[in-house]
Structure 1
Amino acid sequence: MSRTVYTMSRTVYSEFCLLSFCYAVVLFASIFSPGLCIVETNLELPCNVTSTESVHISFTTQIVKNEFIVTFRGYYKAAARSRYIAAALNGSDSVLRWEILPRRNPAAEHPSDFDVVLLEEVQTDDGASSAREDSLSLLLEHPLIRRVTPQRLVHRSLQFIPYHHDHGSERVETEEEEDGSESVNAADVRPLRRTSLGVQTQFWQATGRLTSRRLLKTVPRQITSILHAQTLWNLGITGAGVRVAVFDTGLTSDGTMFNNIAEKTDWTNENTLDDKLGHGTFVAGLIASSKNCLGLAPDAELHIFRVFTNAQVSYTSWFLDAFNYAILKKIDVLNLSIGGPDFMDFPFVDKVWELTANHVILVSAIGNDGPLYGTLNNPADQMDVIGVGGINFEDQIAKFSSRGMTGWELPAGYGRVKPDIVTYGSAVRGPSTTGGCRTLSGTSVASPVVAGVVALLASGLRHRAGIINPASMKQGLMASARRLPGINMFEQGAGKIDLVRAYQILSVYVPQASLFPSYLDLTECQYMWPYCTQPLYHGSIPVIVNVTILNGMGVVGRILDKPQWFPYTPHNGEYLEISLSYPDNGILWPWSGYLAVHISVSEAASDWSGTVQGHIELTVESPPQQRSTVRLAVKANIIPTPPRHKRILWDQYHNLRYPQGYFPRDNLKMKNDPLDWNGDHIHTNFKDMYQHLRNIGFYIEVLGRAYTCFDARHYGVLLVVDPEEEYHREEIEKMKRDVEQNGLAVIILADWYNTTVMKKIKFYDENTRQWWLPETGGSNIPALNSLLSPHGIQLSDHVYEGGIRLGDRSLVYASGTSIRQFPASGTLVGATLNDQGKSIIEQSGSKVFEEANVPFLGLYTAVMTSSSYNNNNASHNSNNHMGGGGGGRGGGGGRGFGGRGGGGGGFRGGRGGGGWQDQGPPEQVIKMGYFAHTSQDDLVLKVTLEDVPFFNAPIYLQNKQQIGKIDEIFGSLKDYYVSVKLGDEVKAKSFKPNDELFIDPAKLLPLKRFLPGN
């Protein structure tokens, strides 16, 4: 579902071309030269999904109409809170009718730090919304009121989804039970709001992590035996004395499978304690069951919090009250098998911080939105929470387990590493409500496994109770974890949990600060992916690594002085330039903080290659007089600064995502997932594009600032993907200069935008009584049109979908726009597509409105006003490689340059999977030019022809023996050179000056095709 506007320029011209890509696997071909190319569609290949069976648990959060959570600066009784709210709202003519909503739960009789206020809509001259804003402002002016935020509804859906390896299909089935009595009916659950975006099967085959065996599913293993809980049980450690809270669907009325149920409370509006769905019973059983399917801490004191209704509905206020009650009850461990993308639900996030600050060890599921990256759920993505991912019993990352990085820091920064830890979450046995055992999968299963481990460890360390806290427990789990080979840290965190080893480490633990990752070896693959995949070089945008600081000494800590960088001179550490950022005043709370490491290369190493090392040192004080000094080792590879045409700049600055606003899905057919919340980052949902670009020799840098903050003369291509943010006037003016004067190529992956369609895809939820209206379309097309208007290019507000062919490739065009205006000298490619926008507006159902010759791809060459930069390479086409096989040639660029559909067209073709040798010699060859010199392992050829060759065109000796293929074109069009990537058995040193080399004349295009006005 990508959308693109692709711009190329070179020494004497800039080019615009329009292309599209598959959202899950977006793969470019080779080099882009200066210019501007525009792609405004979503192109997808059918992407088959392979995975194992699991119970898929998804969450949505939505704003409740007219209800607001008023948060106070302290805890007050109900009467006092009511007086404060009345004092703020009464006495003003502009306020609406208001009411404090009653909360009937066990926390109601205790002091609280919030109330839920209903501001009723009243029709006024200025409108109800204006009156509501006045009311909110009055509340915020009260000195004892800290914040006013909308009430939110949480909806969780449970579905058992088998992913079939052969066909990638999905269907809802009942859960598998040993006693055959418990099931989840497909008719009783809402469709998934967030369906997993699958990746193509070659990803799993390439990593060796896919298996079709089902043995472990049919013979599930006991989790307690796998984690060696018996070792601690034999020492008399069984969870006794530890208070564990389970926030879920309640507990079965038959409590005989549990030894110690201290309390069951209901926080919903249903006035029942019974678990009708069975999920809460299963989760509690993994922690503390004492019969059949044993729990890890069978003697732990269970506190059951029923926070979801039978319809799987909950509200933020229910959680806030329940959290306050958990603090009041001095809960030690809290399992939260919920999550969602809304890390900006401030009352919820603040309360989680307050929980951990009160020594509650919070364990939470990382999410079931894998294998897509950037799908971490809150609160598991918080630094003070133990975020848990899932693995299967073969120690492979479960397909459903969400991957990092965190999204809090985007677009200006870089996300933190999550999950923290992984454990078994696939085909795990636990108790059923009928007394037997059942098998479930999901990170909501892995989370209570870790909660059970934490409870067991805490009970075994009660004699050292003073040192057990949320940070020290997390430190112990991560330090003892077993790293899984071949898997990066954004999938596994510190690794697989090891119960016995964690107990050994915590038994001798001394309060201290620690870092995660504990070192930065940017040369270590796969664990340090993506950092290990691209070396550092001078002039690049600084690489950012966001390191988490854990403070086991106290809930509040402080970084003393300024962290220092110590380069190792014998290891050329002085070539690195390190800058550091951390919380204001160095304050770490609660139990944690961050250290953002910005890594650059000094100018002295612009032509140097090698490995550099050093370390960063910082000291944490907590409490006063207790200090801990930690070192962060740094190791990296440096290379000479790559040539401009090899460097791509990824625009992250203009990407916005939920929860910053309601940004709708890119593909309008994905009705189960209305929100765009993955971040559109080159290392998350575009990671396959990143890996492909790296594999073919490009270097990708991430721009987290406005266009006025980079020097276009250093980059061949600016890549703008699905932008939602507006463009400032200064950015538009600079873009025009960069294309016309500085030879910058630009690729814009655009998307759909139509205000009427946006109104049609708003959704109304009966539970929330709230309409959700998109803030923009799949992309902000009006903003893109402002950016492109100086070049005479405009995109339309039509929305199309359908199938197209580019060369020998069939692609799916998913919810894309079309080109409305394009320079006459440009080249447009059209296709017959369906008017999806019209279908949505007219609600035509299955009826389609076919439209012929819709322009979806274009190439434009814009005349440059300056030719001062004459080292730029000629433009190259973008080629889609899908499915992992050898990609065909030509594609969009082939049509743009040569007007030839299939193989061979365009400036640079795909290299494919079949090697560099063509099939047989050509009918004839003509002289291309003569050998000039070598460049590393490439051969540089001075061209004597007046025509322009295709990229990847084979180069021959006079006897038609192929020696390699054209890799680059540089110089001016009338006086240019080419570099030739030689075959494995051909050595550049075997050539002598003025040796003649030859080309197939069918691989040439007339020069006039590349000149303005042709």
Structure 2
Amino acid sequence: MTILDMEHLSLELLRVKMPSVLVLHQILRFMLFVCLLMLSSLQVSYTSWFLDAFNYAIATNMDVLNLSIGGPDYLDLPFVEKVWELTANNIIMVSAIGNDGPLYGTLNNPADQSDVIGVGGIDYSDHIASFSSRGMSTWEIPHGYGRVKPDIVAYGREIMGSKISTGCKSLSGTSVASPVVAGVVCLLVSVIPEGNRKDILNPASMKQALVEGAAKLSGPNMYEQGAGRVDLLESYEILKSYQPRASIFPSILDYTDCPYSWPFCRQPLYAGAMPIIFNATILNGMGVIGYVESPPTWHPSNEEGNLLSIHFTYSDIIWPWTGYLALHMQIKEEGAQFSGEIEGNVTVKIYSPPAQGEKGPRSSTCALHLKLQVLPTPPRSKRVLWDQFHSIKYPPGYIPRDSLDVRNDILDWHGDHLHTNFHIMFNMLRDAGYYVETLGSPLTCFDACQYGTLLLVDLEEEYFAEEIKKLRDDVINTGLGLAVFAEWYNVDTMVKMRFFDDNTRSWWTPVTGGANIPALNDLLAPFGIAFGDKILNGDFSIDGEQSRYASGTDIVKFPGGGYVHSFPFLDSSESGATQNILSSGMNKADSPILGLLEVGGGRIAVYGDSNCLDSSHMVTNCYWLLKKILDFTSRSIKDPVLFSDSVRRDSPLYLDDNQLPSRRTDVNFSTYSAVVAKELICRSDSRFEVWGTKGYGLQVMGRNRRLPGFPVIDLGRSLNSTMETSNMKQFNLTKEDDLGNKYFSLDDLQVDVPMMVASHWLIPAIVAISGLLLFLSFWRIRQKRRRRRKGSGSGRFVTP
């Protein structure tokens, strides 16, 4: 917003006798004062303080509320639900997105909520400020895809503002950008005459005006800038003629628009891939509550558009003001050789109850424009499958950081997703020619014949027994490559990381280490591989590549004939100290950290540290090592240094199973797990999902309700889930027993997994079979009686 823009708008406001910019300055000073009151002398605040403040805002009928504060805990339900109540009372809430940039997946609550206007920061050159947090939102992971956030950006670096005492000073942060937008919102509110204000202005209509009027910046992607830089005059023009309506944000997904459409523009669609999920937000300016009148529909612009199959999931109820519309996109099997663009629109009709004085409901049709790039299905050796399902993050559990050298960030809360803290690794893999797909379901839910490598990085989840059996046969019999990047796991260290949380008035203890080593050891046991419980730190070099091993673990079991690399490191597991604290005089011992093995038709690589792939607290990257590993696991290309005779083991590396790291007995892991005491199902992000009339052996049952209340994926075939029939090729994975019941079978993999069968035919089948057996019983009895009657020579029944 330039000085000329402000001057022009001020004249407009004065012409209609509205508040001047001078009044806006006083508003901003008041909001800054309120924000300071929300912090103690230790820069700490409590949920209860905010609940009181929000109640006051509701009671006094405030129009606009700015919150230059936030945190990563999107499961603080009292706070989240009070924000819903606040916006449901027609208070427009503006909030800073956070100052945890340039890391991705670092959005703060409440700015990451869809009914709140989340604001990021830019400098005067229209570059994203380095400190500004990046999207995507992470509370939908692993069973969905995050939303576009921030909503908009505003100037937030070296902004001149008032001191509390007197004078001015330079301020930086999204906490500065947010009140700038709040001031813009106040000016826009004052544009609408007070008599019409109640009918027109609400959190959704204001966000529509802001995102539709924003100026898109040329460099940053959608998870850095949202809709773009706030543009006061453009938003003002939209509001001047605004009529209540619903819309979709963002309204365009264009694979040809790079870098804005990252990560979608980096990898085209192709047949046979896991569904690509795009999660848009429905903004309903017609009312605080809304409904989907009819299922979303796909309208291709050309004949090629029929190659696209879309599974839609969306909100049951749009409240308050917002909902979600998730697109699960796949290319049909007949498009396996197609190369080109697919274009068209997705439309959905929304309605809200009539406003006061209106007779009929309000109705609006929303449109989302798609322009997608499609290419022929890549060869197996170029396809990598990323396991997202077995990643747990904070919240709901206390998942500790991966690098223990980092003291100021105790939580692993950035999402652990390809497009959050592993986004640089994703870009590297695409530059190297690999196609990376995401699996948000168990390992039983993918066809190993389609992928060169399964990539397991920094995983905290447990495994189903069926997953362990299937993976063994996938590697040995199907030739799947397996690459594992582990993390530290030491029970004594976890106990020392326990702390008392003043907000919840309870003790917090880690539910696992940097990775769940006992679970990984169970998964790798069929191959004779296991990790230990050391916490290793130090520098090392392979083939001239300098690397840092940051709080990684060691390999304690590995088969003979494999290749194992060992280096001298400091072990901080006993002292609880890290490399920064340990004295230089401590002895270093050789510890195995990298193992490579050929087993059956597959290849396995294990490495004890993931910090070198994670952008969060990376010291040095090991992308060079990942590329060499994928060359081996996917294409059987052996680097001469990694496979030198000097590191080949003639005898196995061995440790008794009772000496391996054990699970904690003082933590109820089922509270945080999607595996422990849960049912094995394939979800909407797997190829085994039932699409239309064709299935892959496992059908999703029930609903996936993810807090704080807006599920990204509806896992049942309910009213808010629609599907287009897909002509995907069916795998021969189902058999029948003697009774005709189907079960899931992988003959070549020597694994039988019970199939979840749809009740709409199972119950009638059981009734029919029971009736048939009963009929046969009566028929046999009658036949016996007839035979006896005939043999007696009389017309009387003979007692048996």
Question: TM-score band (shorter)?
Answer: 0.7 to 0.9
- Structure 1 residue 729 displacement after superposition: 0.6
**Deviates further, 368-377 or 620-629:** 620-629
1:515 aligns with 2:248: yes
User: Given the superposition, is the C-alpha separation of residues 227 and 395 from structure 1 closer, same or farther in structure 2, using an over 3 Å criterion?
Assistant: farther
Q: 1:538 touches 1:603 (CA, 8 Å); kept in 2?
A: yes
**Of 334, 337, 356, which aligns to 1:607?**
337
Structure 1 CA distance, aligned partners of 2:550 and 2:620?
18
CA change 1:231–1:749 in 2 (3 A) is same
Residues 551-591 of structure 1, C-alpha deviations (whole Å, 9 max, x = no match): 01110011102111122334x1011001100012xx10000
Please give the alpha-carbon distance, in whole angstroms, between the structure 1 residues aligned to 2:35 and 2:111: 20
Q: Distance in 2 between matches of 1:690 and 1:415?
A: 16
Q: 1:602 to 1:843 in 2, by over 3 A?
A: closer
Select the residue among 554, 562, 566 that pairs with 2:287.
554
Q: Is the 8 A contact 2:598 2:604 kept in 1?
A: no
1:514 Cα deviation from its structure 2 partner: 0.7
Q: Does 2:278 match 1:545?
A: yes
Distance 1:304 1:811, change over 3 A: closer
2:350 paired with 1:620:
yes
Q: Relative to 1, partners in 2 of residues 1:853 and 1:596: Cα closer, same or farther, differing over 3 Å?
A: same
Structure 1 position 486, deviation (Å): 2.2
**Distance in 2 (alpha carbons) for counterparts of 1:566 and 1:888:** 45
Give the Cα separation in 1 of the matches to 2:468 and 2:326: 31
Specify the SS of the correspondent of 1:398.
coil
Partner SS, residue 286 of structure 2: coil
For residues 624 and 35 of structure 2, what CA distance do their matches in structure 1 show?
Answer: 56
What is the CA–CA distance in structure 2 between the aligned matches of 1:681 and 1:886, rounded to whole Å?
16
Residues 320-331 of structure 1: pairs in structure 2 closer than 5 A = 320-331=51-62
Q: What is the match of residue 769 of structure 2?
A: none
Deviation larger for 891-900 or 817-826: 891-900
- 1:377 positional shift: 0.6
In structure 1, how many angstroms separate the alpha carbons of the residues matched to 2:158 and 2:13? 29
The verdict on how the C-alpha distance between 1:300 and 1:691 changes in structure 2, with shifts beyond 3 A counting, is closer
Distance 2:200 2:345 in 1: 28
Q: State the secondary structure of the residue aligned to 1:228.
A: helix
1:746 matched to 2:482: yes
Partner of 2:127: 396
Distance in 1 of aligned mates of 2:458 and 2:478 = 24
Query: Is the 2:98–2:133 Cα contact (8 Å) retained in structure 1?
Result: yes
What per-residue deviation string (whole Å, max 9, x for no partner) do you get for residues 634-676 of structure 1? 1111111111000000000011111121000000010111000
Moved more, 840-849 or 516-525: 840-849
- The aligned residue for residue 198 of structure 1 is none
Alignment correspondent of 1:682: 418
Q: Is 1:242–1:301's contact at 8 Å kept on the other side of the alignment? A: no
Q: CA deviation at 1:457?
A: 0.8
Among 45, 59, 65, the alignment partner of 1:314 is 45
- Which of residues 252, 268, 271 is equivalent to 1:535? 268
CA contact (8 A) 2:484 2:606 kept: no
CA contact (8 A) 2:444 2:470 kept: yes
Please name the residue that 1:183 is paired with.
none
SS in 2 for 1:838: coil
Shift of 1:798: 1.1
- Pick closer, same or farther for the CA change 1:418–1:226 going to 2, 3 Å: farther
CA–CA distance in structure 2, aligned partners of residues 719 and 239 of structure 1: 62
Q: Distance in 2 between matches of 1:841 and 1:300?
A: 43
Moved more, 781-790 or 833-842: 833-842
Q: Residue 385 of structure 1 aligns with which residue? A: 116
Q: 1:239·1:455 contact (CA, 8 Å) conserved in 2?
A: no
Partner of 2:210: 477
Aligned CA distance change for structure 1 residues 437 and 225 (closer, same or farther; 3 Å): farther
Deviations, residues 448-487 of structure 1 (Å, cap 9, x unaligned): 0000000011012134302011000100011110000022
CA distance in 2, matches of 1:414, 1:886: 25
- Render the CA deviation track for 1:395-436: whole Å, top value 9, x for unaligned: 000000011100111001110000000000000010012310
- Per-residue deviation, 1:812: 0.7
- Residue by residue over 1:322-363, the C-alpha shift from the partner in whole angstroms, topping out at 9 and shown as x without a partner, is 111110100100000111110000010000011000000000
Shift in Å at residue 227 of structure 1?
7.5
Aligned to 2:593: 856
Aligned-partner residue type, residue 234 of structure 1 = L
State the match for 1:817 in structure 2. 553
- Residue of structure 1 in register with 2:407 after alignment: 671
2: CA distance, partners of 1:844 / 1:619: 59
Query: How far has the Cα of 1:764 moved from its partner?
Result: 3.7
Question: Which structure carries more strand by proportion?
Answer: 1
1:761 aligned to 478, 492, 497, which one?
Answer: 497
Q: 1:583 aligns with which of 315, 319, 327?
A: 315
Query: Which AA in structure 1 matches 2:235?
Result: A
Instruction: State the match for 1:234 in structure 2.
Output: 11
- The alpha-carbon deviation at position 752 of structure 1 amounts to 0.3
Q: Is the 8 A contact 1:807 1:891 kept in 2?
A: no
Q: 1:696 aligns with which of 412, 432, 443?
A: 432
SS in 2 for 1:490: helix
CA distance in 1, matches of 2:243, 2:625: 60
What CA distance in whole angstroms lies between the structure 2 residues aligned with 1:579 and 1:699? 22
SS in 2 for 1:645: helix
State how far apart, in whole Å, the 2-side matches of 1:459 and 1:776 are. Answer: 52
What pairs with 1:983-1002 in structure 2 (closer than 5 Å)? none
The answer as to 2:464 corresponding to 1:718 is no
Q: Which has the higher helix share?
A: 2
Q: Deviations over 1:310-333 (max 9, x none)?
A: 222221111112111110100100
Query: Is contact 2:31-2:66 (8 Å) kept?
Result: no
- Amino acid in the other structure paired with 2:174: T
Is the partner of 1:896 in helix, strand or coil?
coil
Distance 2:32 2:132 in 1: 29
Three-state SS of the structure 1 residue aligned to 2:277 is: strand
Separation in 2, partners of 1:842, 1:697: 37
* Alpha-carbon offset, residue 228 of structure 1: 2.8
After superposition, residues 216-231 of structure 1 pair within 5 angstroms as 226=3, 228-231=5-8
Structure 1 CA distance for aligned equivalents of residues 238 and 338 of structure 2: 43
Supply the distance in 2 between the matched residues of 1:659 and 1:768 (Cα, whole angstroms). Answer: 14
Structure 1: tracts of 5 or more residues without a match: 1-223, 244-257, 261-286, 290-294, 865-871, 902-1014
Deviation at 1:719, TM superposition (A): 0.6
Shift of 1:524: 1.6
Secondary structure at the counterpart of residue 897 of structure 1:
coil
User: Which amino acid is 1:556 matched to?
Assistant: I
Partner of 2:143: 412
Q: Does 2:82 match 1:351?
A: yes
Equivalences for 1:170-189 in 2 at 5 Å? none
Match of 1:629 among 345, 359, 365: 365
SS in structure 1 at match of 2:12? coil
The alpha-carbon deviation at position 599 of structure 1 amounts to 0.5
- The 8 Å contact of residues 110 and 116 in structure 2, kept in 1 or not, is answered as yes
Query: Partner of 1:738: helix, strand, or coil?
Result: helix
Other-structure match for 2:734: none
Amino acid at match of 1:856: I
Q: Deviations over 1:936-970 (max 9, x none)?
A: xxxxxxxxxxxxxxxxxxxxxxxxxxxxxxxxxxx
SS of 2:169's equivalent in the other structure is strand
Q: Deviations for 1:601-641, whole angstroms, at most 9, x for unmatched residues? A: 01111112111112111101012521101221211111111
Q: CA RMSD in A?
A: 3.0
- Alpha-carbon deviation of 1:235? 2.8
List per-residue Cα deviations over 1:495-519 (Å, max 9, x = no partner): 0001111111111111111111101
Contact map agreement 1:615 1:634 (CA 8 A) in 2: yes
Q: What is the total number of aligned residue pairs between the two structures?
A: 621
The answer to whether the 8 A contact 2:246-2:284 is kept is yes
Residue type at the aligned position of 2:181: V
Is the Cα–Cα contact under 8 Å of residues 97 and 174 in structure 2 kept in the other structure? yes
CA contact (8 A) 2:405 2:578 kept: no
Corresponding residue number in structure 1 for 2:189: 458
